[in-house]
A and B are shown apart, each in its own frame.
Chain A
Amino acid sequence: MADLVSHPDEVRVVSKRFGQGATDINRYLALDGYKAVQKALAMQPEAIINEVKNSGLRGRGGAGFNTGLKWSFVPKQSAKPKYILCNGDESEPGTCKDRLIFEHDPHAVIEGTMIAGLAVGAQSGYIYLRGEYRYLLEITQKAIADAYAKGFLGKNIFGSGRDFEVYWHGGAGAYEVGEESALMESLEGKRGIPRIRPPFPAVVGLWGGPTVINNAETLASVPPIIMGGAEWFANLGTPKNGGTRLFCLGGHLKKPGVYELPMGYNLKKMIYDVGGGIPNGRKLKAVVPGGSSCPLLTADEIDVPMDFDSLAKIGSMLGSGGLVVADDTTCMVKFALRIMKFYQHESCGWCIPCREGTDWLKKTLTRFHAGGGIKKDIDNIQYLSENMLGRTMCPLGDAAALPTISIVKKFRKEFEDHLEGKPCPFEKSGAARQLPVFA
């Protein structure tokens, strides 16, 4: 069980039931649970979609696409069944928010899935949880069983004459599966290899049927929107970035933790006030603003509102809300290497630029950090990364390239400091020389 934290600036929408025992269905009901889905049952599907569209809710998995708009792409008539797929395959390094949602408020995800189903005319939903989250899968299995026992799921939900089924599904360890089309492949019992789009999942998804895929936090945000209204939710955030978001604060901070803050909250304040600042009297060097696939920010770039558009404007991304803060003892070459090691491990190998690029970059960065770097490598690292951009079927290639390019550009001097066989300036004992020096 992960520890909960709090801060006075928090606005609790998705986390309002955290620590309240809401995994128990009766407790969830006492805390206004399953009211939103009953309200939605009395609404026209278009009205639900419009409400969510106008709320400015954007995908919390990382892409930041307007959720209501995504729902509106699902055709009204379909020969094949339609599906809702909840993405709980949280694996983006730096991100640990969906874990808390399932741990404390699984019924909110179920309710959000049901409302999404009503909006697009689907009769079944799947909740996919990553394999490592076994205890959360058990919590979710019980929550689903309890909802069936109360008659909230299955045939004729809430006496409306409509049916809705919710099923659980577990993964077995794969970052790539968090990508929507790979997620569908995995659910269908295959290797998680992405599909070429178009057709998009809203038209051809699970088993060929139209499918809406939303992150768990996105779906958990839906019931409050239905209850509180689009305007209320939109006003919590900044224009076109409605609501709040669970920010996962990690790395070199005095008070790491998951905090729910309004969209557009200032990053500097988030680091120094909410997160308590940098410990041990150290200075800030770099921030990963939204999970490891986002371009890094330097200490000079942190006076920025944390919403999708403001971060895009300064060349980064809000991503999945996972902040990793690095102080001035951090070796950025090693940081880049660790990120690349991850993407090399997780690349499914289907697209050559990603498979070969991540492997080549990992090898180059490993040699470079160990003291075997030559000057040409620095530009080569950037060149290789740039050649992965946009040349893969899913965003994993971009996810590996973007942070790497930003580190080379913003911390070039640290690469130069590793040249000519010099030991890593940040290793306490000097970098272990595992590889020959070419310089």
Chain B
Amino acid sequence: MRFSEQFESRFAEMLTHYPTKRSVLVPTLLYAQDEVGFLSEEVISELATRLELTELDVRNVISYYSMLTTKPRGKYNVQVCTNIACLLRGGEELLQHCEKKLGIRHKGTTPDGLFSLEEVECIGACSWAPAVQVNYDFHENLTNEKMEEVLEAYSRKARQ
């Protein structure tokens, strides 16, 4: 299994940061997921071998963290916050609007594999609510109209 050079150099560097190998596991899983798209059997087996853990150990950790997934999802994961600060400023309406525009529900993926949708817990944008994260990018102070522009911008980006 091959990861990018950047992944490998970061992985090698991180191993020097801690007294135990397994300490690199959580950030490494996320970086691996960013490259492969999801945590496949192959990724899990590879990291388990490298860190001298059982695959079960690795799966145990994966199932705890909400950002980690063992199933493929869309190129752009649209994460709509509906927690209290966003709720009061239209987070739920924004989620419904995304559901309508994308034709998918929570944890669904569009047939073209471009978008996934997720209702998420607080993403730390409470003073700029309602807010959405698309992969790692924040989009804040949203309205339905602004949300459509955001989705359109990602569609355009994918076509280029």
Contact = CB atoms under 8 A, between A and B. Distances in A.
Interface of A: 2-3, 81, 90-96, 98-99, 126, 130-135, 167, 169-175, 186-192, 207, 248-252, 256-258, 288, 292, 322, 324-327, 330, 334-335, 338-339, 342, 345-346, 348
Contacts of B22: 188-190
A126 B18 CA distance: 10
A189 B24 contact: yes
Contact of B26 (A2, A90, A170): A170
Contacts of B26: 131, 169-172, 186-187, 189
Contacts of B66: 172-174, 345
B125 A251 contact: no
Most chain B Cβ neighbours within 10 Å, of A95, A133, A187, A251 = A251
Contacts of B30: 131, 170, 172
A186 to B, nearest CB: 6
Interface in B54-90: 60-61, 64-68, 82-85, 87-89
B128 interface: yes
Contacts of B128: 2-3, 96, 256
Most chain A Cβ neighbours within 10 Å, of B64, B82, B85, B137 = B85
Contacts of A322: 85, 126
Most chain A Cβ neighbours within 10 Å, of B64, B87, B123, B133 = B64
Contacts of B35: none
A98 B123 CA distance: 12
Contacts of A324: 84-85, 88, 126
Contacts of B18: 167, 207
Contact of A169 (B27, B82, B83, B124): B27
Given A96-B125, A346-B121, A172 B68 contact: yes
A90 B122 CA distance: 9
Interface in B87-115: 87-89
Nearest to A192: B64
B124 A252 contact: no
A169 B17 CA distance: 9
Given A93-B84, A131-B30, A132-B133, 20 more contacts: A2-B138, A94-B122, A96-B128, A99-B124, A132-B123, A171-B27, A172-B65, A173-B68, A188-B22, A188-B23, A189-B25, A191-B64, A207-B20, A249-B127, A251-B84, A292-B122, A338-B84, A342-B122, A345-B66, A348-B64
Contacts of A325: 88
A173 B65 CA distance: 5
Interface of B: 17-20, 22-27, 29-30, 51, 60-61, 64-68, 82-85, 87-89, 121-129, 133, 136-138, 140-141
5 contacts: A167-B18, A170-B30, A173-B66, A174-B66, A186-B26
A94 B126 contact: yes
A174 B83 contact: no
Contacts of A249: 127
B65 A207 contact: no
A326 B88 contact: yes
A298 to B, nearest CB: 16
Contacts of B85: 93-94, 250-251, 322, 324
Given A188-B20, A292-B84, A172 B124 contact: no
| Those 6 A-B pairs whose CB atoms lie nearest each other, nearest first | A173-B67, A189-B25, A189-B22, A173-B66, A172-B65, A134-B136
A173 B82 CA distance: 16
Given A189-B22, A190-B61, A251-B85, A167 B17 contact: yes
